[in-house]
Copies of this chain bind each other. A is one copy, B any other.
Amino acid sequence: MASKERIYLFDTTLRDGQQTPGVDFSVEDKIAVARMLDAFGFDYVEGGYPGANPTDTAFFAQKRTRDAAFVAFGMTKRAGVSASNDPGLAALIRAESDAICFVAKSWDYHVRVALGCTNDENLESIRASVEASVAAGKETMVDCEHFFDGYKANPEYALACARAAYEAGSRWVVLCDTNGGTQPPEIRSIVETVIAAGIPGDHLGIHAHDDTGQAVANSLAAVEAGVRQVQGTMNGIGERCGNANLITILPTLMLKPAYADRFVTGLSPDRLADITRLSHAFDELLNRAPNAQAPYVGASAFATKAGIHASAVLKEPETYEHVPPETVGNRRRVMVSDQGGKSNFIAELKRRGIAVDKADPRLDTLIALVKEREAEGYAYEGADASFELLARRTLGHVPEFFKVDGFRCMVERRFDANGQLKSVSEAVVRVTVDGETLMSVAEGHGPVNALDIALRKDLGKYQREIADLALADYKVRILNGGTEAITRVLIESFDSTGARWSTVGVSDNIIDASFQALMDSIVYKLVRNRENPAPKPD
């Protein structure tokens, strides 16, 4: 244990991750993300570039982490100006950070073309900037930009930049594959050369990009070759194809014997059980759907579709799973589908608290029903709540909480008083609850939205119960042909307890398909409330 080497984790979601097209963090977003990363246990949280824009300057008005080192990013001082006279460097040093990460050119071509200074002036800027930062009491590191491409073009100069940073007192010299095209064997051999040239591996970091889909492999190849700091982002966000994904690297480092036998991180092993939640919470903050295929944390990462493996997986999961899903806070899923066998169904039902005997004829009815409906276009593997309702209705009982007697949706497009074309969508729903008929009408963005609003506007005595139901996602899939085709609607819902469930509807009429999925969502919520009563009714 004591002989394992320490790997340091550096998160740059708030700095390099900010370069992702479509991602723009507000100060509040940055505060929330920094809090997540700090609580999770990363060693370094890079927050941005104080002085470069008002958001980052405001974010660095105070320290935003408790345990993690809070890192400000910025350029080395300009050539021809002393460190004490460079306003950019002064702003960096003034920022309320524990550490400073300088970006420095290490490709001679870029020194000439982008900085317009001499190679020696650039080395001097690196040295003077590092010294000023160290003198100000900051932990200091240098990102050697384009290091690998620079090394290929001029190895001596790239090494000289790294050495200048190290000798001036930089705690870390980070080798960056800025363009993301370097291959793992190249990373390995160049890192080995850098270490052989006198910079110890426990002062080296790796910053990889995913332009050939190998940012994770490049980071791990660098670790094998000797670096001890790994930079990356949450869910691999970042410019172009993204940065190295820390959510993937971390479990690999901590669970795979090839690394776990040799290295430790600053995290205790049980923190990993929170990594799926961390990944999804970050997507939630970005308002995007999590990637189902994501290693370790994706909804499909431990899913098996009914097929040659499904029943074997259920019997002997450990020989079909590369790590136990619960170690990363994920879970096993055996997909219900029209190819599913009886044992799949029983296992899936058991997981949902529905006990059924293998010999129960209602189980055969349920299987036949699922097959029949999947042949019509339903897809229960993506609609757990609709599956559960179907199962409960077939095997037991689901109360008829309310009855929709009918509805009407109308979309009208016409010229308004000002001669502008205008569309109006309106829905009327008639519901019976406990013998009482309730009518609701609503306008919406399109007929489905109007129907959704009208349906949830007044459910009598159940209204308070569904008040916190909200829709997270609405998907439409046309299963064949033209406008008369079969339409499948999938709806994902959530409520204030954090629960999420998915429902499905199928029809040749998109309004009907949506109505089915909306109804299932509401009824599921009511069933769920009865199965798991809220702890405090308030």
Contacts of A24 in B (CB 8 A): 379
Asked if A295 is at the interface of the complex by the 8 Å CB criterion, the answer is yes
Interface majority SS (helix, strand, loop, mixed), chain A? mixed
* A478 near B476: Cβ-Cβ < 8 Å: yes
A213 and B247 CA atoms in complex are apart in Å by: 10
Chain A interfacial positions (CB closer than 8 Å to B): 19-22, 24, 53, 75, 107, 109-110, 113-114, 146, 149, 178-181, 183-186, 210-214, 216-218, 220-221, 224, 236, 239-242, 245, 248-249, 251-252, 256, 258-259, 287, 292-296, 298-305, 307-308, 312, 315-316, 319-323, 335, 339, 379, 381-382, 405-415, 421, 423, 425, 444-449, 451-452, 470-478, 480-485, 487, 491, 507-512, 514-515
A473 and B307 CA atoms in complex are apart in Å by: 31
Give the most central of A212, A379, A473, A508: most B CB within 10 Å: A212
A216: which of B217, B410, B514 is its contact (CB, 8 Å)?
A: B217
Give the most central of A239, A320, A511: most B CB within 10 Å: A511
How many monomers of this chain does the complex have?
2
A224 and B21 CA atoms in complex are apart in Å by: 34
* A444 near B405: Cβ-Cβ < 8 Å: no
- Selected A-B contacts with CB under 8 Å, 8 pairs: A21-B305, A24-B379, A149-B319, A212-B322, A214-B216, A241-B298, A446-B483, A473-B482
CB distance from A404 to the nearest CB of B (A): 8
A447 and B513 CA atoms in complex are apart in Å by: 12
Nearest to A477 among chain B residues (CB) is: B287
* A475 near B478: Cβ-Cβ < 8 Å: yes
A381 and B258 CA atoms in complex are apart in Å by: 42
* B483 near A293: Cβ-Cβ < 8 Å: no
A320 and B110 CA atoms in complex are apart in Å by: 10
* A241 near B300: Cβ-Cβ < 8 Å: yes
Contacts of A179 in B (CB 8 A): 319-322
Nearest to A180 among chain B residues (CB) is: B322
* B410 near A241: Cβ-Cβ < 8 Å: no
A256: which of B181, B293, B300 is its contact (CB, 8 Å)?
A: B181
* B339 near A53: Cβ-Cβ < 8 Å: yes
